A and B are shown apart, each in its own frame.
Chain A
Amino acid sequence: MPAVLEARSITKRFPGVTALRDVSFDLQPGEIHALCGENGAGKSTLIKLLSGLHPHGSYEGELFLGGAPAEFHSVADAQQAGLAVIYQELALVNELTVGENLFLGCEPRRGLLIDWDLLWRESGALLARVGLDVAPDTPVSELGVGSQQLVEIAKALGKNARVLILDEPTAALAEHEVEILLNLLRDLRRRGIACIYISHKLDEVFAVADRITVLRDGATITTLPTPQTSRADVIRAMVGREITELFPRHASHPGDVLFAVENLSASATRGGSARLHEISFNVRAGEVLGIGGLMGAGRTELLMHLFGAFGQRLAGNVQLCGRPFDPVTPVDALAAGLALVSEDRKRYGLVLAESIGFNLSLSSITRLRRGALIDEEREAHANQGLFGSLRVKAPSLETVVGTLSGGNQQKVVLGKALMTEPCVVFLDEPTRGIDVGAKIEVYTLVNALTAQGKAVVLVSSELPELMGMSDRILMLHDGRVGGEFARGNFTQEALMHAAMGQYEMTNA
């Protein structure tokens, strides 16, 4: 029998990077096929290609549907062909009812008007197929995340989807909701609906998938039949990369504890449920603490919370330089000597329409005053100092930041943090999306900071970077500490086990 969906020798290039290299993948009728891989392995790119988001012609290679060549020029083409993607971020309109959502954009009509009778009847039938017991006229906003996901699947079934693609579907689900979802997928499999299942959670993958394909660095590494495979095989295939890059981390001589976190729990919103659970760690002067974990493990939330920019503290003690520390806003954090470089420099890092100088001094401008006015000479000198020492490649301090390359933008964000003269620095994915030369400069800067006796917390998705630059590594899993490793005990397998919640703490 021909594959429902097949991708043959797909190569997808973005300016400067090859996201997929000669990737082949097939989905058999009535199969649940899991896609595994580290962050940035190419899973999302592959999905975007299958769903028509990267249209035909923007990549090399071929797609086949039921054995026949297929060309998706748009998302609509892919939907027409029976492919439905259910993203982590659900695409439902909260203010509308379940029924209205199910038929959004293809409402049944009688003449010019919506045929409400038909809509409610059909909605009821679709909801029954996914086993969701709610009235079709319930507003979506009244449903939990798990139920909303079932609505999404019902919506896909309503469009006669033959292939469901689920991207991290259980990231936000409670345990019993996960069980309901997995049962539904098994049920749909019996009715001939195939499914591509992307998840970092190996337990689920092994519970539901027939085969597992592992992607790494944009290439298919292997496709394994689940019954003949162990979790260790999958993890090995995911991380098998050699550490070839040069990390100039010097031996460190850690001093006093500068930053200590004890049993920290925090929620995203006031009164919400905990997003971070009982996290403890500390960082010493002159030390780099690496924090790793998979997407959604809570790394960014942890840093942003400690910086006063995210969430609500539920429990725990935090000390900065021996003093209790509970910043309400980043203003407090910066004043106490903590600086943060955000992972998303365009959103949280820069005012893109303004100049390099404006951005560099933004966090320090209240201190660069003479009386009520800005001391423009002192500001210019401070700016010029960092502009030079960070070697930002731009014509002048007055160049608009939005016109710079990623690496140079990142240097400006780093410079802004450094100008506040912090004693503890949080770096969240400081090398994301910048070229190798700029990466090395960031690493050198980290070394310089620790040499000055500052403490650095480095969050990174790239294990080699984390292992190369950290003195200790803390792996997060699902908002909890999954494991902590001293420099001698770094192995990619051990770290990945901890990131997937498979690490026995007794090994530490």
Chain B
Amino acid sequence: MKSKLTLRDFSLLLSLLAIGGFFAIAAPQFLSARNLSMLAVELAITATLALGMLLVILPGHIDLSVGSGVGLMGGIACVLIINHGWPAWAALAASIVVALVLWMAMGALIVRQRIPAFIITLGGLLVFKGVFWLVIRSHTIPVVPGGSTNLYSLLTTYYFPPLASGVLVTLVFAGLLVLNLRARRRRASLGFAVDDREVAFLKLFVTAQGLLLFVLTVNQFRGIPLPVVILGVIAMVMQIITRHTPFGRHLYAIGGNEEAAFVSGVPVQRTVIGAFTLLGGIVGITGLMQTAYAGATTTTVGDSMELDAIAACVIGGTSLRGGRGTVLGVIFGALIMASLLNGMTLLSVAPEMKFIVRGVVLTLAVWMDVKLAKR
């Protein structure tokens, strides 16, 4: 049996091209190196959070509190650095540890007390928002004292120089190529279906083209932004977790049929708590990146980011009932959301319209998914 490319595989790519094409015509500066570099940073932030969200959606849960969490974690680090004089690295680490603990506690409440994740995290949304404002006393606090730089501010202002960027991308592609060929050989030796030679080549070719185009573009500005590398590392870790560990297998099993998973000896509670804890770590990282990108913590940092993260998952083919979803799909979903927001900002679209467009796109994506899945 040979696998074929389906319309579903292409639909995300086509939508992305359509969105990109539209903005390229409507706002020519959309394709400028500077803007695309910004877009890459915004994508990295949205996609990182969405990948964390994937971990809890796979076993059929949800997290509405990540937006407030992003604000809170960024805020804690700022307060520790500016008000308490902590070194940046310690402040960043403290934020991530706090996030891990909070999310582990929420996960434990959800599975041990059997309170729906929707409710616990809705509570989290409100509580974290309130705590966030208390922590920063509703002020605006910069990530670094006046004009200098620190580890925190560098999170979104550091760029790998063009030469290093080129080497990095080449290494990434070489790695992908080797992994791909090895996986292909192994699958073939086990008698599993593999892509046609042409299809496999086409996929690699498109990947290579994409990477090349990306590095050439960002090198015209300042090189690869650090957040993109952070996203790359997190995506790789997520791919390994979801596809190559028993933990990941269990996430899919719980989402696919929780009762069957339980009777099959899947440690359901431990797995779900683990998923929430990992999400906590990612909320911490995202919070630091988002606050660094804004330059300072203010009461609005992180607002409605939970919705973008969930939307990115769903647009990328993740089922909210659990059991279905992939890392690559989520990244594409995040790219669509980030492109839309970035393009609309360039066009100076009113905030009202931004909300409406995002809502319509999300609805359309799910509707299309339902339609295509039926065939």
Contacts and interface: CB of A to CB of B under 8 A. Distances in A.
A351 B265 contact: no
Interface in B245-264: 245-246, 249-250, 252-253, 256-257, 259-264
B354 interface: no
B253 A395 contact: no
Interface string A227-254: 0000000000000000000000000000
B192 A398 contact: yes
A342 B323 CA distance: 21
Interface string B303-346: 00000000000000000000110000000000000000000000
Given A354-B256, A363-B265, A374 B193 contact: no
B246 A365 contact: yes
B193 A396 contact: yes
A351 B257 contact: yes
B323 A347 contact: no
Interface in B152-201: 186, 190-193
A334 B324 contact: no
Contacts of A330: 262-265
Contacts of A372: 245
Most buried by B among A369, A395, A396: A396
A353 B245 CA distance: 19
Contacts of A349: 260, 263
A310 B259 CA distance: 12
A452 B19 CA distance: 63
A362 B266 contact: yes
Contacts, number: 87
A348 B259 contact: yes
Contacts of B261: 351, 362
A446 B310 CA distance: 48
Interface string A403-435: 000000000000010001000000000000000
Nearest to B268: A329
Contacts of A416: 264
Contacts of A380: 190, 192
Interface in A346-401: 347-354, 358, 362-363, 365-366, 368-369, 372-374, 376-377, 380, 384, 395-398
Contacts of B192: 380, 396-398
A333 B256 CA distance: 22
A349 B262 CA distance: 10
B353 interface: no
Contacts of B191: 384, 396
Contacts of B249: 358, 362, 365, 374
A322 B256 CA distance: 37
A353 B323 contact: yes
Nearest to B252: A354
Contacts of A369: 246
A298 to B, nearest CB: 18
Given A365-B249, A374-B244, A348 B263 contact: yes
B26 interface: no
B260 A373 contact: no
Given A353-B324, A374-B249, A329 B262 contact: yes
A352 B256 contact: yes
A46 B46 CA distance: 58
A181 interface: no
B323 A351 contact: yes
B375 to A, nearest CB: 15
A26 to B, nearest CB: 43
Interface of B: 1, 186, 190-193, 240, 244-246, 249-250, 252-253, 256-257, 259-267, 323-324
23 contacts: A329-B262, A329-B265, A329-B267, A330-B263, A335-B265, A348-B260, A349-B260, A351-B253, A351-B260, A353-B256, A354-B252, A354-B323, A362-B249, A363-B265, A365-B250, A369-B246, A374-B245, A374-B249, A376-B244, A377-B186, A377-B190, A398-B192, A398-B193
Given A353-B256, A362-B265, 13 more contacts: A329-B262, A329-B267, A331-B267, A335-B265, A347-B259, A348-B259, A358-B249, A358-B252, A358-B253, A365-B250, A384-B190, A384-B191, A396-B191
